[in-house]
Amino acid sequence: MTLTLIFVILIACPLEFTGAKWTYNGPDGEHNWSSNYPFCGGAFQSPIDFQTQLLRYDPNLPPIQVQNYNLSTNEQLTLSNNGHSVQLSLPSQMYISSFPQRYSAAQLHFHWGSSNLLTGSEHTVNGKRFAGEMHIVHFNSDKYPNISMAVDKHDGLAVLGVFIEIGEFNPAFDKFFKYMNGIKYRDQKIQVAAFNIHALLPARLDEYYRYDGSLTTPPCYPSVLWTVFRRPVTISRKQFMALATALYASNAQESTTVPLHGNYRKPQITDNRVVLVSFKDGLYGILSAESPFQRKQVIQKLLVGDLADLADEGLYQLLPKLGSQPGKDKKLKKSKKEGHWSQATRKEQWSKNKVQSNTGYSSSVGKNTPTPWYMGAFDTAKGICFVSLEENVMHQLDKYHAKGLMVEALREVVFPELNLRSYLHCRSDLDLQTIRKLVQGRSRDEAAELEQSLAEAMLKKMRRQINQHRNPNMKTTIGHPQATVPKDFNSALTYHRPQRAEWED
């Protein structure tokens, strides 16, 4: 009966962008977005805080290249106030050309602070919030006919994020900032002459943060490949004030006017995500991303191959680092303290989303949405995020009451898609739990051998960290000088203290 009810409600009032009311403050504020928009309480949410320990230098990230951004002044663009932001429509001939698939532009919009709080960017860098942030939204036009079809697909959107700082006057932004008074109220729109959109971007397009995330507003679909440029652009204080004070979130007919400012969402948990960065200068002790190919090799060998040639070093390179990646227990405690999700509640939320999707939720946006399974973190082809892979496999095992078939299930889930999908290929560290499960599936002596390699690799890494701790000036690209060594030392020892009987016949 409950399901029928949900079904009826969803059919009667399909959720869409302008669907249920949401705001940044009050009862419909972000804490409650997930009541009407379940994905807002789901995985892979944005924005996030770019903390140094999340960053992985990836030398394969090319400079961002865009095409047809220099629009003719004969062209008209729609500038609008949608009650949540100021938005400029963009023609789809503009596109990002540095991705394997073409992502065509749809619109750009802003997030900003207020006249008495000048900080309002969504992404932050080690907790630092910039004055504002611009988002240039693109959709995968190779695969989807328009943005509404792409918005809820795992590979649907790519957004370029630009931090905005208060400083020098920016003539490019004034091309449309000067018309702000024409769209003071919600739902107002005007036409403005197009201009060179490229001039809104920072000078350096080769330095950026890259990660998998979501829309930062309801319905929060985890469909966004994020690129946030490292270097901010500037606008003058006067320009910022115009943005922060000119607009209302209420429409012209409403008796009470609600100012439109402070329209940013707070940072979301990163869970098992890492952030790839295209730069490493100025970042001390940053780790490098391992190549997806290397990960694939390891998994393949764990599943089917000869473990003898999986040398210590190969495995060692893929181990999650000690210290900045807390163990599961630690993480759980932390999650609770911060009111974030534990693994269990995340799973629960996922099933909730899935149920809702099955009752017609996802089809309200895209009729051809194959199944909610393909959304965001739970896309099987995205299985190289090992933690979600593991959840996926566990789910299958539960479904078939087939415990102990982890390896079989992994084989089924991982192949043949492993390493085929997407730009990033791999977003999370190879989870130690996954390695262990795979190891357990191998024949006894092989498993023992590998277990020993793992233990040795961990100990080696730990020693290196301790040395680094004692001698912090020692230069190395791996390791975290900030790590609290005694704690890690203990947990690593507990975890890897050899239990001789296990592998010494």
Q: Catalytic residue numbers?
A: 84
CB 218 within 8 A of CB 40: yes
Residues forming beta bridges with residue 133, ordered by sequence position: 111, 163
What are the start-end ranges of the H helices in 319-443?
328-337, 343-358, 386-400, 406-414, 432-440
CB 34 within 8 A of CB 382: no
Q: Which of 12, 100, 127, 145 binds ligand NAG (CB under 6 A)?
A: 145
User: Is there binding between residue 32 and ligand NAG (CB under 6 A)?
Assistant: yes
Q: Write each residue from 100 to 139 as x if it is in contact with ligand NAG (CB under 6 A), else as -, in one continuous string.
A: ----------------------------------------
DSSP for 184-224? Answer: -STT-EEEEE--BGGGGS-S--S-EEEEEE--SSTT--S-E
**Which listed range, 113-121, 124-132, 141-149, 443-451, lies at the site for ligand NAG (CB under 6 A)?**
141-149
How far apart (Å, rounded) are the C-alpha atoms in residues 430 and 202?
34
How far apart (Å, rounded) are the C-alpha atoms in residues 441 and 196?
58
User: Is there binding between residue 265 and Zn ion (CB under 5 A)?
Assistant: no
User: Is there binding between residue 70 and ligand NAG (CB under 6 A)?
Assistant: yes
Nearer to ligand NAG, 36 or 440 (CB): 36
User: Is there binding between residue 196 and ligand NAG (CB under 6 A)?
Assistant: yes
Nearer to ligand NAG, 32 or 358 (CB): 32
Which of ligand NAG, Zn ion, none has residue 135 at its interface (CB below 5 to 8 Å by kind)? Zn ion
Other C-beta atoms lying within 10 Å of the C-beta of residue 8: 12
Count of chain residues binding ligand NAG (CB under 6 A): 11
Minimum distance of Zn ion from residue 202's CB (angstroms): 17
Structural tokens at position 484? 């609290």
Which of ligand NAG, Zn ion, none has residue 416 at its interface (CB below 5 to 8 Å by kind)? none
Q: Does an H or E element contain 227, and which?
A: strand 224-229
Which of ligand NAG, Zn ion, none has residue 32 at its interface (CB below 5 to 8 Å by kind)? ligand NAG
Nearer to Zn ion, 135 or 301 (CB): 135
CB 263 within 8 A of CB 42: no
User: Is there binding between residue 149 and ligand NAG (CB under 6 A)?
Assistant: yes
Minimum distance of Zn ion from residue 362's CB (angstroms): 22
Q: Which of 56, 84, 135, 186 binds Zn ion (CB under 5 A)?
A: 135
Whether the upstream peptide bond of residue 27 has omega within 30° of 0, thus cis, is no
- The CA–CA distances, whole Å, from 309 to 177, 280, 305, 438 equal 61, 32, 9, 16
**Which listed range, 56-64, 144-152, 242-250, 422-430, lies at the site for ligand NAG (CB under 6 A)?**
144-152
* DSSP at 112: E
As to burial, measured by CB atoms within 10 angstroms (0-12 exposed, 13-18 middle, 19+ buried), residue 499 is: exposed
Other C-beta atoms lying within 10 Å of the C-beta of residue 490: 10
**Which listed range, 92-100, 143-151, 256-264, 285-293, lies at the site for ligand NAG (CB under 6 A)?**
143-151
Which of Zn ion, ligand NAG, none has residue 375 at its interface (CB below 5 to 8 Å by kind)? none
Q: Which of 72, 115, 257, 476 binds ligand NAG (CB under 6 A)?
A: 72
Nearer to Zn ion, 135 or 210 (CB): 135
Residues within the interface to ligand NAG (CB under 6 A): 27, 32, 35-36, 70, 72, 145-146, 148-149, 196
